[in-house]
Amino acid sequence: MKKIKQDHKSMETPLLPLQVELRNMANASRAEQSQRYFKTGPGEYGEGDLFIGLTMPQQRTLAKKYVRSPLSELSTLVNSLWHEERMIGFLILLFKYQKSKTEESQVPLIDFLITHRKQLNHWDLVDVIIPGTLGDWLIKKTDQQQLLFKWIFSKNLWERRIAMLATAPLIKQGEFTQTLSLCEIQLNLKAPIHDLMQKASGWMLREIGKKNRACLEQFLDLWATQMPRTMLRYAIEKLPESQRQMYLSRK
């Protein structure tokens, strides 16, 4: 284990106890692996992201230990330069949301999430945090689903992915309209769809197929010829081989 150096910002303000504990767990070898896996090189989608070198179970354990941290401390964490600190900050928010008993207690948590959504700036942050927080919230607050149709047009890749992943709980409830509409919007834009959005969109379509295969087939019959290949492959992954080949042959 190798302790990481304090960054310039943290030298100006004392580290939180969680940050001290996290940094004492630093693993340089794992951090280097994460830098490669999460595409942090020049021109890659995770360019410039920094890693301390913790496993996901370690991050979840720390988040549970510090789940009583106030939102002011979470703000420090989610605005950190370090990927794991942002993840732990948002994990604490997720655990707080899951423990909350009333909508009244959930409002400040969702407000915090929406305010800091641009700090969910990698696919793992979005995928781990959004379905169980904002996605769950939008099941109850249908009037706020309009946010998804604003963010799907964003120039920010992660906002677009947030929009798509927020529909995961809706799909589990048997509500497919939002997911299908977001997919249609992307296809109608006639602009290249980022690989990470192809994967997210195809993934959500696949989840629809698990609940209602006929609904997925209807969508594919209309859109398969216009879908980028990665999006299509993700969407048809669970269909019978003969059907997969049929849709692929239309490309």
pLDDT tens for 191-230 read: 999 999 999 999 999 999 999 999 999 999 999 999 999 9
Equal fold, 1-129 vs 142-251: yes
CA of residue 223 relative to chain centroid, distance: 25
Would the pLDDT of 2 be above 50?
A: no
Q: Where are the domains of the chain?
A: 1-129, 142-251
pLDDT at 234: 98
Cα(116)–Cα(163) distance, integer angstroms: 15
Cα(36)–Cα(40) distance, integer angstroms: 6
Would the pLDDT of 10 be above 60?
A: no
235-250: average pLDDT: 96
Written out in words, the top-level CATH class of the domain with range 1-129 is: mainly alpha
Domain with residues 142-251, CATH architecture:
Alpha Horseshoe (1.25)
Please list the alpha-helical segments (H only) found in the chain: 8-12, 17-24, 28-37, 56-65, 71-78, 83-99, 103-115, 123-129, 136-140, 146-151, 157-165, 168-172, 177-188, 195-211, 213-223, 229-236, 241-249
pLDDT tens for 78-94 read: 999 999 999 999 999 99
- Mean of all residue pLDDT scores within the chain: 95
Q: Please report the DSSP string for 45-91 in residue order.
A: TTTT-B-----HHHHHHHHHHTTT--HHHHHHHHT-SBHHHHHHHHH
- This prediction has a pTM of 0.93
Distances (CA, A) of 86 to 33, 55, 78, 120: 18, 14, 4, 8
The residue assigned the tokens 């959500």 is: 204
